[in-house]
Structure 1
Amino acid sequence: MAEVREFKTESKRLLDLMINSIYTNREIFLRELISNASDAIDRYHYLSLTDERLPKTNDYEIFISLDKKKRTLSITDNGIGMTYDELIDSLGTIAKSGSLEFMQKLKNKTDKEAIDIIGQFGVGFYSAFMVASKVEVRTKSPFSEDGYLFTSSGTETYAIDKVADLPVGTTVTLYLRKNGKEENYDEFLEEYNIRRLVKKYSDYIRYPIRMKVKKSVPKLDDEGKPVSGKYDEVEEIETLNSMTPIWKRRKADVTEEELNDFYRQKYFDANDPIATIFINVEGAVNYTALVYIPKKPPYDLYSERYEKGLQLYSKGVFIMEKCKELVPDYLRFIKGLVDSSDFSLNISREILQKSKELEKIADNVEKKIVSRLKDMLKNEREKYKEFWEAYGVNIKYGVYDAFGMKKDLLKDLLIFRSVNQDDHITLKDYLEAMPREQEYIYYTSGKTREQVLAMPQMDIVKKQGYDVLVLTDDIDEFAMQVLYEYEGKKVKSINQGDLDLLSKEDEKKLQDLSEDKKPLLDQMKEILKDKVTNVVLSKRLTESPVCLVSEEGISLEMEKVIANLPHQDKPKASKVLELNPNHPVFTAIENLYNANDPMFDEFAKLLYDQALLIEGFPLENPAEFSRKISELMIKAVKPS
């Protein structure tokens, strides 16, 4: 006669909560039951080492059985099994775990490291009710003469009955729910689907997961030769899991070819990765990580739908496809996985809680990746340039992000082309080549290096013999402003503010000339008052007639970038029009001003438009600009 008992908790409400809310993905029930079976084998194996009553064996296995007629799925293990009291304690009390209690008993033992037990929460078993209307558990402990049958339909009660002649271990049998309009529970009776789920979630469980499968083999004639086109259906026992993950092997025992093969197969990439980072950490937090830098970024890397993250395992059990907390935004391109016994999991393994352990692992993985990149930059410069072409923008974003919180970590990964160097150089390279008297690290921005080399603002810097870093990505100006300085040398845009490159004598001459030409400059400023904050004689132009620069704050390049962003606010740079007093164009406009010629206004606007074009800004009125140019051309060829 079966003994009927009530659950020790508010079981109906709690079961409903778990079945319908906590587990959002019903297929993980198989992962939970396999993990529980693995736990039970772990416990048997450990106790057999210290308890002479337990026969020692290495023939451990987890067996899955499917019965389509009865619509049942069973998971059998030859682990420790449960006594009557353990059955009530572990399955009769929701969120009570034999594994957790077992770990508590071992807390002060020195050989605790020998135990790998993942089932720290009893609710994993109850995930079975997502797909089953009834669950039976047949179990026998080596410390009990009797075996027991636990039966539950997920309501307030459960039944326990004695069963004779059970082997040591546990069998969990699920009676699958009836199919509904939107639910197909028959899929959990299909061999191919069970094989897929084991591969996805439990491929690296250390014990073999086996199942009887049907296979077609060639039909043989009386002489044992295959009959063409004829096949027999046979049943074979097949091991579904790999058992030993590549990242659990000693690093020294894994070849580069094996790591690359694993990457290509797991992440469906035809190319080998640029780099592989194999991390094994033992200490305050224990974990293994296998991280890859793909050769090419995915096409949707910068789209909103792209999901960053590393795969998450806990002792070989798959937990999560994309754990975004393990990857900073600027490293969103990396692929790989982390496996640790130190993750803090909530009651359903499906949802990972944020924890200090997770933060430590994420921080350590990031530092390991950056360290590998620095080593690549130092010792494999060509490979690093390949990485930079693919992901340089990401590193610069990392410098800029979070108000430059990681700029010190990343600044030595930055490489640039420059005016003097077509090949890439680091900031350290730039500093080592600087003349002793040079105060700043100079940079400028443009669409291409060729465009930058033609900029009028380059005049004075080239005259001094100083190199200038060439920036061509939208993020560059933002990153450089956040970087601010490197090894005590401030970074400075040649398009912004005062360059202070004139001698004191030349500075005094320009100051006196500016005072003398002040009425002309003020008149131009008035004409362009809606467009510029000031019109000045330039300290930086030697060959070009005119240029636009910005005051401190938003630069000209930033304005162009922000203009293309989907923001409502479009802040503008404070533009300053600079004129070269030694250029014939300035002499021409000065003559117009002195003659009180109405063409002076037209010339002022024309020079501003010219400066806009040089900087790559669109003209406010291209037709008007074209008309002015045409008039000047006609005037230039008209006989006087």
Structure 2
Amino acid sequence: MSGGSETLEFQAETRQLLHLVVHSLYSDKDIFLRELISNASDALDKLRLESLKDADLAADTSDLHIEIRPDAGARTLTVRDDGIGMSRAEVVDLIGTIAKSGTAGLLEKLKSAKDAEASNTLIGQFGVGFYSAFMVADKVTLVTRRAGEDVGTRWESTGESTYRIEQAPYAPQGTSVTLHLKPVDTDDHVFDYTAESKIREIVKKYSDFIRWPIRLISTSSGDEGTVVEEPKTINSMKALWSRPRSEITEDEYREFYKQIAHDWTDPLETVHLRSEGTFAYDALLFLPSHAPFDLYTRDAKRGVHLYVNRVFIMDECDALMPHYLRFVAGVVDAHDLSLNVSRELLQHDRHIRGVRRRLVKKILGTAKDLQAADAEKYRVFFDAFGRALKEGLLEDADNRETLLDLLLLESTHDETEPTTLRGYVERMKEDQKEIYYLTGASRAAIENSPHMEAFQAKGYEVLILADPIDEVWADQVLEYDGRPLRSIAKGRVDLDDADEAAGDADAKPEREDFTALLSFLTATLGEQIKQARLSTRLTTSAACVVGDVNDPTPALEKLYRATGQPVPHIKRILELNPDHPLVIKLRDAHARTADEPSADDDALARSAELLYDLAVLAEGGEIENPARFTRLVADRLAAGL
């Protein structure tokens, strides 16, 4: 029944979402009108662009506008546009279902939201604007006809479990949404949305900058009982980004951001700039105060829209902003670009590449200024977007130094406040030449790692890198401010002589009385390790495992394999603490059995295996055979009782 009347059920997750939207504790129900106007504006933008690309499109573009028609007697409010419209299939796909990834996660977060502001923020992030109509309406009727098609579609629902859809043969081009409003109940702060004063208030607050005329249709009685309609344009229609900054209020910036980003909170910072060189453009960009819902998902959206001379071209313009800055919201209006430009052409346009470079430097410069001016505010920004900035260390070599300056990293210097790399360098010991760090699964795991013992004992600050992406960027960023970054889990460590080369394999000779034991361990554990040697980094633990200076960590190996990259297993080095009682007893036991092979050889081999597994566990790693490990431990415990 592709053209007939049908009653269909909402997708299961859509029903849940509708229920949560309608029954959440909203602090501002006025938002529904902003969302409907925003949808109408998008439809007009798309029609204008489509008509420019397709001269044969059968569409009327002579008077594109948005119309708001209140009817106090019928208790209805209609928002109509003569934009691109929708086909029947699009209505079912866009209104009857939610085909966006992450819906289930959104529902869980909404259910656990503690207050109205939290609910509003989550809904705003996900962009479910059409459904907000059910906050103020008992029933919603949508009539639409796609430009170029002959027959329209009528959709209607009470927002419960079903919706009705049928043909609308005489539907005009575009879309009209009629809200059958709930009764006015001032106790619940449900305003009379048929009142012209209320409509004007909402439009002025949220949608004054919309480039299309928003016309309020007022009715009055004429001669002989006729009804006279009077359309009045109630928005200024002046693109905010084209106005001088001195003429724009902070409230206007905030409301523009909320409209374009579909956010419910104020932006953290505003970037408004104009270039009048060989390639002129205006840009109005924002740093949000919280991360979008899908920031770290595979299908994360980008927030920068491209206009050409105030004509909408495309949203999510990846040619204007690198992936790691996908959280930046706003518009770029180019003055000298073709209206028919495609995403592929943008990628190779030298002017666009130049704009991108300038925008990136401006955004990073704004973040750096914020860092210097307001540490608390910058902490909010970095907590939300720090992981994305770290991605930039891998993607954007040109701005790597700036990105390194923007990092806030945990360290052993302070348990509560993170540090910048600049702060770390300023606190370095006089004879210290390297910036020390250690990666791991958590701060607790890193702080308790055997690798930390000598550094803690001698008062050296170590950066604590517990974010999974830290494994990747720290492995590729070699230095900061001319000082090498050094993992304390790699190479040799000798803090007694700061002038000694940290990566030199011959930096500290082995003690001769352990030579035989080290040879035995290297041979016995040859499948697991490349070498056994004495350690200068251990003070209390018996052993630890370390990598060579240029080897990836086990966590990085695992990460590469998870992404499908073939990585050979890298053997590591077993380091022993020569002052630990266990290591001394192992040496003595090996000496007793060296000249008289016996059954004790097997016991010594099992002890070596246990020692290695304990070292792996101590750094938070995973041992290869947990079942065998538990049996060996149980046997040793039994033998010792």
Normalising TM by the smaller chain, what interval? 0.5 to 0.7
User: Pick from 547, 564, 577: which aligns with 1:550?
Assistant: 547
Give 1:484 shift: 1.0
2-structure distance, mates of 1:299, 1:554: 36
AA matched with 1:601:
A
1-structure distance, mates of 2:437, 2:255: 43
AA matched with 1:318:
F
Residue-by-residue CA offset, 1:84-106 (whole Å, 9 max, x unaligned): xxxxxxxxxxxxxxxxxxxxxxx
1-structure distance, mates of 2:538, 2:582: 13
1-structure distance, mates of 2:304, 2:344: 15
Partner of 2:62: 75
Partner of 2:459: 465
Residue-by-residue CA offset, 1:250-304 (whole Å, 9 max, x unaligned): 1122222221122223322222122222222222332221111222212222222
Secondary structure of 1:327's partner? coil
Secondary structure of 2:614's partner? helix
AA matched with 1:553:
N
Residue-by-residue CA offset, 1:396-430 (whole Å, 9 max, x unaligned): 1111226x443123221112121122211111111
Calculate the TM-score normalised by the size of structure 1.
0.65
Partner of 2:490: 496
Tell me whether 1:335 sits opposite 2:319 in the alignment. no
Say if 1:187 and 1:267 are closer, same or farther in 2 by CA, change over 3 A.
Answer: farther
Partner of 1:316: 310
1-structure distance, mates of 2:435, 2:148: 70
Partner of 1:634: 638
AA matched with 2:462:
V
Partner of 2:386: 392
Residue-by-residue CA offset, 1:429-460 (whole Å, 9 max, x unaligned): 11111111011111111222222111111122
8 A Cα contact 2:450 2:619, kept in partner? no
2-structure distance, mates of 1:29, 1:575: 58
User: Pick from 40, 48, 52: which aligns with 1:31?
Assistant: 48
Tell me whether 1:268 sits opposite 2:268 in the alignment. no
Tell me whether 1:178 sits opposite 2:150 in the alignment. yes
Partner of 1:486: 480
Tell me whether 1:192 sits opposite 2:176 in the alignment. yes
2-structure distance, mates of 1:566, 1:550: 22
AA matched with 1:469:
L
8 A Cα contact 1:554 1:572, kept in partner? no
Say if 1:606 and 1:32 are closer, same or farther in 2 by CA, change over 3 A.
Answer: closer
8 A Cα contact 2:319 2:346, kept in partner? no
Tell me whether 1:346 sits opposite 2:340 in the alignment. yes
1-structure distance, mates of 2:393, 2:513: 45
Residue pairs, 1:240-319, within 5 angstroms? 242-319=236-313
Tell me whether 1:416 sits opposite 2:433 in the alignment. no
User: Pick from 611, 614, 619: which aligns with 2:618?
Assistant: 614
Partner of 2:433: 439
8 A Cα contact 2:219 2:227, kept in partner? yes
Secondary structure of 2:566's partner? coil
Secondary structure of 2:607's partner? helix
8 A Cα contact 1:592 1:599, kept in partner? no
Say if 1:313 and 1:240 are closer, same or farther in 2 by CA, change over 3 A.
Answer: farther
8 A Cα contact 1:274 1:294, kept in partner? yes
Give 1:558 shift: 4.0
2-structure distance, mates of 1:329, 1:624: 46
2-structure distance, mates of 1:470, 1:435: 18
AA matched with 2:463:
L
Residue-by-residue CA offset, 1:24-43 (whole Å, 9 max, x unaligned): x997684159989xxxxxxx
AA matched with 1:445:
T
1-structure distance, mates of 2:63, 2:339: 25
Partner of 2:23: none
Residue-by-residue CA offset, 1:327-383 (whole Å, 9 max, x unaligned): 111111111111120324437999857422211111111111000111111111111
Considering only CA atoms, is the larger Rg found in Structure 1 or Structure 2? 1
2-structure distance, mates of 1:437, 1:256: 50
Partner of 1:602: 606
Say if 1:338 and 1:462 are closer, same or farther in 2 by CA, change over 3 A.
Answer: same
Secondary structure of 1:553's partner? coil
AA matched with 1:178:
D
Calculate the TM-score normalised by the size of structure 2.
0.65
Partner of 2:534: 537
2-structure distance, mates of 1:264, 1:438: 49
AA matched with 2:406:
L
8 A Cα contact 2:613 2:629, kept in partner? yes
AA matched with 2:402:
L
Tell me whether 553-562 or 426-435 shows the greater mean CA deviation. 553-562
Residue-by-residue CA offset, 1:117-151 (whole Å, 9 max, x unaligned): xxxxxxxxxx99x99xxxxxxxxxxxxxxxxxxxx
Tell me whether 1:590 sits opposite 2:620 in the alignment. no
AA matched with 2:590:
Y
1-structure distance, mates of 2:244, 2:311: 19
Secondary structure of 1:567's partner? coil
User: Pick from 445, 449, 452: which aligns with 2:443?
Assistant: 449
2-structure distance, mates of 1:215, 1:587: 95
Partner of 2:562: 565
8 A Cα contact 2:48 2:61, kept in partner? no
8 A Cα contact 2:209 2:240, kept in partner? no
2-structure distance, mates of 1:26, 1:250: 28
Give 1:240 shift: 7.9
8 A Cα contact 1:176 1:185, kept in partner? no
**Structure 2 portions without partners, runs of 5+:** 1-41, 65-82, 88-145, 154-165, 178-202, 594-599
8 A Cα contact 1:204 1:317, kept in partner? no
2-structure distance, mates of 1:348, 1:440: 48
Secondary structure of 2:282's partner? strand
Tell me whether 1:577 sits opposite 2:574 in the alignment. yes
8 A Cα contact 1:343 1:355, kept in partner? no
Give 1:503 shift: 3.9
Secondary structure of 2:628's partner? helix
2-structure distance, mates of 1:240, 1:186: 29
AA matched with 1:75:
S
Say if 1:272 and 1:509 are closer, same or farther in 2 by CA, change over 3 A.
Answer: closer
2-structure distance, mates of 1:319, 1:600: 73
- Aligned-pair identity in percent equals 32
8 A Cα contact 1:34 1:75, kept in partner? no
1-structure distance, mates of 2:476, 2:282: 34
**Structure 1 portions without partners, runs of 5+:** 1-24, 37-70, 78-126, 132-173, 194-198, 223-230
